[in-house]
Amino acid sequence: MPTKLETWLAQVVEEPLEPDLPICDPHHHFWNARPGHDPYLLDDLQRDAGSGHRIVQTVFVECHSEYRQDGPAALQPVGETVFVEAIANCGVSESTAAAAGIVSHADFRLGNGVAEVLGAHAAASPGRFRGIRQGAGWDPSPAINVSGTQSPGLLLDAQFRQGIACLQAQGLSFDALLYHSQLLDLVDLANAFPDLPIILNHIGRPLGIGPYAGKRVEVFPVWQEAISTVAACPNVVVKVGGLGNPISGFDWHQRDVPPTSAELADTMAPYYLYCIEQFGANRCMFESNFPVDKASYSYQVVWNMFKRISQDFSQAERAALFHDTAARVYRLPAAPDA
């Protein structure tokens, strides 16, 4: 029985463009239960990945799923790595390696103590564990900082940076999740750790809700200036995607009929093409951010959108955007069908 969301998305079905183009999807999640969301597990990803595009590899990114319920609090996130490792062991087919890389969670505010957590993640997934994401998104508006658990200036915190130093020492990468208003904090971190590979998630999450609602014209140049400053840091790459999250304020999820890839391309191109212009294709990777962005469009449609906006790029640039940047940055093994 299709879910309500799947029924809504099924109103827009497109023929996949360039179905033979190899894709590494470097950002998706798995979860069993989550308030307000349907479960999203291997069968769901395989159904999305099998909708016509050639998805050869994927990367799982932490989402606070299946944490351990006992033991030291610092080690409870290792339960998520165990959960995803089990899924990944079942998820390698002739065409797609699901969760070929795993980005887990740790609290860098543990300082040097985070080394034990990193070791536990590596032991839980010796072949796939690639790095850590600790969300740093904060805004003074309660409409955005809903949980009230985040605090300002996390990326600047001395104890946090002590933990980051442990991550760098182990040759791992850092996925940065924050809002557009915090991008200069990321610049400070990148300059302090020039040898640390940093992956900026969701083009820096330009906000469009709360005090930013209806202010896209004002927010866009602020975001542009900050992105250009981030791009000057050679150790930062960017995930190009994520605007389907309702937090960006486009409200596609409230429409009677979901958007087509052509509609999405018209809206998203100014953001995504600016990132590619600033970073270069070799430091950009297209991402689905599923199932979060599934609230706004289907997997089939979003990859058609990426193909539309990149149609004027060279073959080498498109190979980087769709597969090679992600495979290089996350140190992925050769794809089963690349």
* Contact call for residues 292 and 277 (beta carbons, < 8 A): no
* Tally of domains within the chain: 1
* Distance between CA atoms of residues 221 and 201, nearest Å: 19
User: Considering the domain boundaries, does residue 334 fall inside one?
Assistant: no
Domain assignment present for 272 = yes
* pLDDT value, residue 147: 64
Q: Are residues 14 and 302 in contact, defined by beta-carbon separation less than 8 angstroms?
A: no
Residue 60 is predicted with a pLDDT of 98
CA-wise closest residue to 317 among 287, 290, 277? 277
Instruction: Please give the DSSP secondary-structure letter assigned to residue 252.
Output: G
Mean pLDDT in order along the chain per 10 residues (338 residues): 93 98 98 90 95 97 97 98 96 84 98 98 98 95 77 95 98 98 98 98 97 97 98 98 96 97 98 98 98 98 98 98 98 78
Residue 202 lies inside a defined structural domain of this protein? yes
Q: How confident is the model at residue 93, as a pLDDT? A: 72
Predicted pLDDT at 149: 63
Do residues 313 and 275 touch, judged by C-beta distance below 8 A? no
CATH number at residue 40: 3.20.20.140
Q: Quick count: other Cβ atoms within 10 Å of Cβ 280?
A: 14
In a domain, residue 313? The reply is: yes
pLDDT at 132: 98
Q: What pLDDT is recorded for position 1?
A: 80
Residue 217 sits in which domain range? 4-11+21-329
- pLDDT value of position 151: 81
Sign for the pseudo-dihedral over CA of 12, 246, 248, 318: negative
For residue 306, count other CB atoms closer than 10 A to its CB: 26
92 located within any domain: yes
Please report the pLDDT score of residue 169 as a whole number.
Answer: 98
Determine if residue 171 is left, alpha or beta; phi over 0 gives left, psi from -120 to 50 gives alpha, anything else beta.
left
Sheet holding 198-200, edge to edge: 22-28, 54-61, 97-104, 129-133, 173-176, 198-200, 236-240, 284-286
In a domain, 252, yes or no: yes
Q: Which two tokens mark 5?
A: 């969301």
CB-CB contact of 137 with 182 (8 Å): yes
Residue 337 lies in a domain: no
87 with 98: CB under 8 angstroms?
Answer: yes
Residue 31 pLDDT: 97
Structure-block tokens of residue 154: 């996390």
Please check whether residue 295 lies inside any domain of the structure: yes
